[in-house]
Amino acid sequence: MPYPFQIQTRSDYDQQYAKSIEDPIGFWSEIASHFKFSKKWDQVLSWNFKEPRIKWFEGAKLNITENCIDRHLESKMDQPAIIWEANDPLENERIITYKELHQTVCEFAAVLKRHGVQKGDRVCIYMGMIPELVIAMLACARIGAIHNVVFGGFSAQSLIDRIQDAQVSCVISCDGAFRGPKTIELKAIVDEALLQCPTVKTQIVYQRTHSKINMLEGRDFWWHEELTKINSLHSVSTAPEPMDAEDMLFILYTSGSTGKPKGVVHTCAGYMIYACYSFVNVFQYKKKQIHFCTADIGWITGHSYIVYGPLCAGATTLLYEGIPTWPDPGRLWDIIDKFQVNILYTAPTAIRSLMSFGETWFENKKLDSLKVLGSVGEPINEEAWEWYSEHVGHSNCPIVDTWWQTETGGILISNLAGVTPQKPSFATLPLPGIQACLVTDDGQEISEHEIDGFLCIKFPWPGMLRTTYGDHERFRKNYFDRFEDLYFSGDGAKRDENGLYRITGRVDDVLKISGHRIGTAEVENAVNSLEDVTESAVVGYPHPIKGQAIYAFVIYNGTNSNYEQLKAGINEHIQTHIGPIAKADKIQIVKGLPKTRSGKIMRRILRKIACGELHELGDTSTLLDPGVVDEIIANRII
Ligand code: WTA
């Protein structure tokens, strides 16, 4: 039996799309009726994009973990909910059935309760890709605590920013994490961060790597020891906290074009419905299939398409601890064959990286269980798309190119696998309920084909963010200020003659480095805080594998004349402030930066220089000192 809201054919899509526009209330309430609520909503939607205020299913009560776990117990008790593959191929996999997931989530929820964690408290999770990360998230959701997962590649400083901003009271971590050939000493990073985080009273530490760590008495507790304290003879059953539809489910920090990362807030009912609806439709998930999303749970893709979407749909989700290229570039193909994976969802940067190792890594790999392939996080170039289709999909699997954002909660524009048309490097059509449009610089809607525009959404959808944590005005300014009555995504796009969308990339100062979202302002702040740096400007330039890479122009006043040392020093500083993902590939020491007469750095010019588009610099005569441009071009790093 297909899912009740699974779109089956192209004409079904057209009908559903039309219905979702004509009667959004009827459309979403029908979909919501397939989820478990302990009390029904009073009102499906109230909204305006001016304040802005968006509320879905107000008055309803639910707990997302009942939808993700409890309601599957009857029919899927012994079905694997999570299949976990370790970093080391020689280590045994772990299979966690829905029944076991229920038990462990209830137990860990009881541990959190015992430590005084309550509904509404913020809990920061900083772990590697292990099942306990999922268990920790679900345990928070079970008791109504708000999780704030921080990617394990972020530095202590990034952790401090996120913990302080969210006023976190409890941290869940690991001793360390295995990633390819490396062990990342997570606990040591948390310890360093917590010196500056007085709100944190408790840290619960899962033992994974057996690294030598320090436990601070009274603050730090071992996960396994805490479990024995609540474990009665039989299973513990922590009752799901009844949550209001609009109660916060989680905060996830993401980069914008200005300032520090912002805490994107998602709420319980709308997020759940949208994550599940989009999962089932985009991937055309069929019962008992195995879904493998290679993203890290520290990013939204992992939240929505490793954890909440699949579990809500009663799917089997595969969680892989390591990286695609270790111990060799055939690793993903081995995992797919080992578990007979049906759906693979990964990032263009991973595809391009695997492409660079050549096709020998497909020898002796069958890959015949695959039915659907997916791409996310940045535009996928045609060459990578074709390679993915031919070598991974054996020209037999539809590819879904899914466009969305941390803010959108789930996929907004994508073909539905095998149901709606696909076209290389096109995200194609909006999902039902998504009123996408393109507008000009002054907010006029574009109806013609092949014209570049700003990608906006006209009407709310259940999965959209509701605010940025602790700063509602920032939320308004970021997304609703530029164009009246529209949600502005920050992306540019165009449409072909069939109305298919092609995303061209960010039009603001946000970069996608190997699919990781990084604000140039953040990197500049890190570089500028280095002694002897007067000022810097950071831009992105195209990179064959990472998609984009960082080019930093730095005014340096110190005495070190060894360029390599200087470059290493700046990158080390970026690493401590943000993390290794934000390191610059190119660093140019400059005497001055191109500025307008009012003192604003002209990043546009620097971007052109970084991209080697020297003939397209435009008018530089209005600059304060046009001479700096010549100096920068002359010493450009190629
Ligand atoms: C980019 C990731 C082109 C886009 C889910 C967006 C894409 C940003 C695609 C959000 C795609 C995501 N094609 N570009 N299929 N998917 N992007 O918040 O620029 O990490 O605004 O969410 O990634 O990144 P985020």
Domain count, the chain: 2
Gap between the Cα atoms of 207 and 209, Å rounded: 6
pLDDT tens track for 79-131: 999 999 999 999 999 999 999 999 999 999 999 999 999 999 999 999 999 99
Percent of the chain with pLDDT over 90: 95
CB of 578 within 6 A of ligand 1: the answer is no
**Are 492 and 505 in contact, with CB atoms under 8 Å apart?**
yes
Gap between the Cα atoms of 583 and 585, Å rounded: 7
For residue 303, the model assigns a pLDDT of: 98
The band of 235, judged by pLDDT with boundaries at 50, 70 and 90, is low
- Is residue 13 assigned to a domain? no
Tokens linked to 104? 């462990």
The band of 623, judged by pLDDT with boundaries at 50, 70 and 90, is confident
pLDDT above 90 (res 402):
yes
**Are 443 and 484 in contact, with CB atoms under 8 Å apart?**
yes
* Closest residue CA from atom 3 of ligand 1: 379
For residue 354, the model assigns a pLDDT of: 98
3-state SS, residue 341: coil
CB of 301 within 6 A of ligand 1: the answer is yes
Strands 316-320, 248-254: pairing is unpaired
**Are 375 and 346 in contact, with CB atoms under 8 Å apart?**
yes
pLDDT tens track for 52-87: 999 999 999 999 999 999 999 999 999 999 999 999
CB of 377 within 6 A of ligand 1: the answer is yes
pLDDT above 70 (res 324):
yes
Tokens linked to 15? 């009908």
Closest CA to 536 of 596, 587, 578: 587
Which ligand 1 atom is nearest residue 490's CA? 21
For residue 243, the model assigns a pLDDT of: 98
CB of 506 within 6 A of ligand 1: the answer is yes
For residue 327, the model assigns a pLDDT of: 98
Domain boundary among 241, 270, 300: 241
pLDDT tens track for 491-505: 999 999 999 999 999
For residue 232, the model assigns a pLDDT of: 62
Higher-confidence position of 233 and 308: 308
For residue 577, the model assigns a pLDDT of: 95
CB of 302 within 6 A of ligand 1: the answer is no
pLDDT above 70 (res 366):
yes
Gap between the Cα atoms of 190 and 203, Å rounded: 9
For residue 169, the model assigns a pLDDT of: 98
CATH number at residue 530: 3.30.300.30
pLDDT (mean) for 546-565:
95
CATH number at residue 135: 3.40.50.12780
**Are 451 and 494 in contact, with CB atoms under 8 Å apart?**
yes
CA–CA distances in Å: residue 637 to residues 271, 482, 598, 634: 45, 35, 28, 9
CB of 291 within 6 A of ligand 1: the answer is no
- Is residue 2 assigned to a domain? no
For residue 234, the model assigns a pLDDT of: 54
CB of 293 within 6 A of ligand 1: the answer is no
Domain boundary among 191, 213, 241: 241
pLDDT (mean) for 35-49:
98
- Average pLDDT across the chain, whole number: 96
Question: Which 8-state DSSP code applies to residue 352?
Answer: H
CA–CA distances in Å: residue 504 to residues 427, 490, 508: 10, 11, 12
pLDDT tens track for 558-567: 998 899 999 9
CB of 540 within 6 A of ligand 1: the answer is no
pLDDT (mean) for 591-600:
92
For residue 541, the model assigns a pLDDT of: 97
- Is residue 118 assigned to a domain? yes
CB of 376 within 6 A of ligand 1: the answer is yes
For residue 620, the model assigns a pLDDT of: 82
CB of 388 within 6 A of ligand 1: the answer is no
Of the listed ranges 347-356, 397-406, 476-485, 623-632, the one predicted with least confidence:
623-632
pLDDT above 70 (res 43):
yes
Domain boundary among 183, 215, 241: 241
Q: How far is the CA of 376 from the centre of ligand 1 (A)?
A: 7
For residue 616, the model assigns a pLDDT of: 83
CB of 517 within 6 A of ligand 1: the answer is yes
pLDDT above 60 (res 378):
yes
**Domain extent for 624:** 521-634
pLDDT (mean) for 14-33:
98
For residue 624, the model assigns a pLDDT of: 83
The band of 625, judged by pLDDT with boundaries at 50, 70 and 90, is confident
pLDDT tens track for 266-284: 999 999 999 999 999 999 9
Q: How far is the CA of 377 from the centre of ligand 1 (A)?
A: 4
- Is residue 511 assigned to a domain? no
Residue among 303, 403, 423, 507 whose CB has most ligand 1 atoms within 8 A, to mutate: 403
Residue among 517, 546, 581 whose CB has most ligand 1 atoms within 8 A, to mutate: 517
Residue among 251, 512, 514 whose CB has most ligand 1 atoms within 8 A, to mutate: 512
User: Does residue 52 have a cis peptide bond before it, meaning omega lies within 30 degrees of 0?
Assistant: yes
* Closest residue CA from atom 23 of ligand 1: 377
- Is residue 560 assigned to a domain? yes
- Is residue 155 assigned to a domain? yes
pLDDT (mean) for 343-347:
98
- Is residue 445 assigned to a domain? no
User: Does residue 327 have a cis peptide bond before it, meaning omega lies within 30 degrees of 0?
Assistant: yes
- Is residue 411 assigned to a domain? no
Residues near 557 by Cβ (< 8 Å), separated by ≥ 6? 532, 533, 534
